[in-house]
Amino acid sequence: MLIKCCIPSVEMSRPKGVSLFRLVTAFPQLSPCITNLDHDDVFASANHDSLPIAITMLSRRIAAARPLTRAIVPATAALRPHFTQLRQRSTPSEVQELDDPGMNGGYINPPPEKRSNRDPYGDYWDKQERRNYGEPVHEDNDILGALSLHDYNHFSPGWAGVLLGTFVVTVLGLCVAVKQIYPDRVSVPKTYEGGLEAELGGPRAVRARAHGEEFDGKS
């Protein structure tokens, strides 16, 4: 049986024993082109093998029709990966952080200097704070002002380590010297006859030191 498709210059023969429904299912692009079919022409015969079927082409489907060869491409064909490069726009907070790394509103801080380290006899406009008139104030003025905590710089870290090491060596040396010259005991430990075994409760009792026992220095 010959079927005329809506695609120009394309004809296909429907094999014997294959119904129109199975043919359209196998080639889905034929279904939108099938229009104005006569019911008697399609179902006049019981086996549907010798029925002439005319497929009418609509003018608005000519441009949208694809070649039949594309319809028989296997569905398992590998799809090419599609990559999309995205560039996100910076938020206003990020732009502000880039423009103002210090996060202080663009305020230019003077060099950090503790006022207590300045010359106390200098000719300052503010004698107590040791600050001149119109001098910019650091944003950390609460820890750099003259009334803040004292900046301890009497000893450098290296010299402090030397002093600490000297103390440790002196104490250890004194301990060794005392051990070497420590005198013997001036007294002799007292001993008892039989260690007072019976008096202290019998053989299992803790005995006193008996005559002839060596003195270990622990008791």
- Do the domain assignments include residue 178? no
Residue 10 has a pLDDT of 42
Query: Largest Cα–Cα distance in the chain?
Result: 141
How many domains, in total, are found in the chain? 2
Q: How confident is the model at residue 40 (pLDDT cuts 50, 70, 90)?
A: very low
- Do the domain assignments include residue 34? yes
CB of 127 within 8 A of CB of 115? Answer: no
User: Is the C-alpha dihedral spanning 30, 35, 41, 47 positive or negative?
Assistant: positive
Residue 86 has a pLDDT of 66
Say whether both 63 and 117 belong to one domain: no
pLDDT exceeds cutoff 70 at 173: yes
Mean pLDDT across 59-76: 53
Which residue carries 């104030």 as its tokens? 137
Q: Which of 96-110, 131-145, 184-198 has the lowest mean pLDDT?
A: 96-110
Q: Which residue, 151, 173, 204, sits at the end of a domain? A: 151
C-beta neighbour count of 130 within 10 angstroms:
20
- Do the domain assignments include residue 130? yes
Mean pLDDT across 170-177: 97
Say whether both 66 and 123 belong to one domain: no
- Do the domain assignments include residue 179? no
Beta strand 11-13 with 2-4 is antiparallel
Mean pLDDT across 135-154: 85
- Do the domain assignments include residue 183? no
Residue 123 has a pLDDT of 92
SS3 content of the chain, % helix, strand, coil (to 5): 30, 5, 65
pLDDT exceeds cutoff 50 at 77: yes
Could you tell me the residue range of the domain that residue 54 belongs to? 2-71
C-beta neighbour count of 210 within 10 angstroms:
13
Structure tokens at 194: 């039989």
- Do the domain assignments include residue 53? yes
pLDDT of 103-120, one tens digit each? 677 778 888 888 888 898
Cα(first)–Cα(last) distance of the chain, in Å? Answer: 125
